[in-house]
Amino acid sequence: MNLLKKSVVFFGIFLLLINISYAASFEINSEAVKDIIIKSGDAIFDITIKNKQDFSDSVTYVISDLNWDWEKKYFNLGKNMETSFELILTTPENMQPGIYNLNLKVYSQNNPDVYDYESLIVKVLDYSDLIEVEELSKTMPQGLDPRKDNLVKLELKNKNDIELNNVKVRLESELFNKEFVFDFSPLGRRTEEFYVDIDDNTKEGNYDVRVLSTMEDNILIERVDNVKVSFYSDVQEDKEESSGFLTKKLIVTRENKGNIDSVEEYRLSLNSFEKTFTRTSLKPTSIEKEGGVYYYTWNFELGPGESYRIVATTNYRDPIIFLILFGFMIYILYTILRSGVSLKKKVLTLKSGSGISDMKILLILKNKGNKMIKNVKLIDTLPRLVKTPEDYGTLEPDQIKKSSEGNKMLIWRLDNLVGKEERVISYRLKSDLHVIGKFGIHKAVCVYKKGNNNVMVKSNSNIVFS
């Protein structure tokens, strides 16, 4: 038991002597100048080494992780002498983010077993760990209103105790595009406020906004935020009524100035008389009759920024003008048909056993209008087989002459016929031969003056049979 106690005491004294000897070799102090770095960056420490040995020594150092790069230096230190230098540690390629404990080993070149350690803590950051950008949906929970300028806040934060310079932030969307450049102090915050004016016809809903932040062509943040466009309904109606001579017009325009679709209906009531004379620019969706009133209904849908225009025109003027013109034309036609001279020719025959030998001719001349007709001349052509008449009624012809075909013509000059006047002129025809079978009688002709023109009227045809 006593032997065991003596052994433990001896071993403890041995360790103490070793520690005292080891502790007395070198004194190492380090101060971090830049211990938080971005990967592919450099960590910087100020190092002080003091020779605690009782003799001069040649001193150097090494880093425990040989993947890091550093500049090796050598120092000749006398007893209790110290030296200071800047140690720059360069990260290896494809360095992963994290916290690295690098042991700085300071040792004697004359006796490598004489050494001491100093722990150097380096934090390596990924680019995605540098800044934080608050989501736009949180900085503007009310969304965007198309009717006004909207204040947008961009909240940014430097997540680390290092400076960041020339940090670019870009916002991209179909609603707006913005770009900013920031410098950050260690753990600094930035708030950028700006106004956004979006199109009045922008539909309500959620819209994507791409948030892209870069520094020296390295991507810090790339994500898609969501921005809400609030909805509002604003359908405006403009009604314009105008009237003219026997006409009236109604123009109804509805315009959707909101940003959501709107289902609309418009109703127009017309009585039976108005309906007959009313035309619309757009065909109604339906026409219903209730209690003698016709209801025209238009159903339509308006998207944001769209308009719908209905024109209803009631026109009494054109139909009335048409009726007046039509009546006037009828009157003119009636006047034409009822004016001028009509001429009828009647043939009365006297038959004997051997045929027709005697005929009485009646020429009925009538002024159909109310106005006097002047310079009236009546001409009747006789068949070749008959004698010149000797027996006339009330009026004998003014002239008897031959036509170019050799027929005799009886000519009466009646001068004037007053309105509605009718005259009957008659004469008898006798033939030396008895006519057997069918026998044609020439048409009589009346010629009179109408304005500067001569008007000729022929009578009806006559055919007699024995």
Domain boundaries, the chain: 22-125, 128-229, 235-317, 340-465
Residue 355: is its pLDDT beyond 80? no
Residue 435: is its pLDDT beyond 70? no
Q: What is the C-alpha to C-alpha distance for residues 329 and 335, in angstroms, rounded to an integer?
A: 10
The domains spanning 22-125 and 128-229 adopt the same CATH topology: yes
- Write 314-320 long-range contacts (CB < 8 A, 24+): 314/247, 314/248, 314/249, 314/274, 314/277, 314/278, 315/246, 315/247, 315/277, 315/278, 315/279, 316/246, 316/247, 316/277, 317/244, 317/245, 317/246, 317/247, 319/277, 320/246
- The mean of the pLDDT values for the chain is 86
pTM here is 0.50
Residue 464: is its pLDDT beyond 80? no
pLDDT at res. 185: 94
- What residues form DSSP beta bridges with 435? 356
- Residue 1 binned pLDDT confidence (cut-offs 50, 70, 90): very low
Q: How many Cα atoms are found within 13 Å in the side-chain-facing hemisphere of 324?
A: 6
Residue 8: is its pLDDT beyond 70? no
Residue 412: is its pLDDT beyond 50? yes
Q: What are 102's two structure tokens? A: 């690098």
Domain 22-125 has CATH 3.40.190.10: no
Q: Residues 32-61: what's their mean pLDDT?
A: 93
Q: What are 117's two structure tokens? A: 């350690």
* DSSP secondary structure letter of residue 162: S
Q: 99-113, 214-228, 231-245: lowest mean pLDDT where?
A: 231-245
Q: Residues 40-66: what's their mean pLDDT?
A: 94
Domain 235-317 has CATH 3.40.50: no
User: Which of these, 144, 145, 171, lies nearest to 156 by C-alpha position?
Assistant: 171
Fold classification of 128-229 is Immunoglobulin-like (2.60.40)
Best CATH choice for the domain 340-465 from the list 2.60.40.1530, 3.20.20.140, 3.30.450.20, 2.60.40.10: 2.60.40.1530
Residue 20: is its pLDDT beyond 80? no
Residue 441: is its pLDDT beyond 80? yes
Q: Residues 109-114: what's their mean pLDDT?
A: 94
End-to-end CA distance of the chain: 189
Which position has the higher pLDDT, 27 or 454? 27
pLDDT at res. 9: 43
pLDDT at res. 353: 59
Residue 19: is its pLDDT beyond 70? no
Residue 108: is its pLDDT beyond 60? yes
Residue 426: is its pLDDT beyond 50? yes
Q: What is the C-alpha to C-alpha distance for residues 266 and 245, in angstroms, rounded to an integer?
A: 27
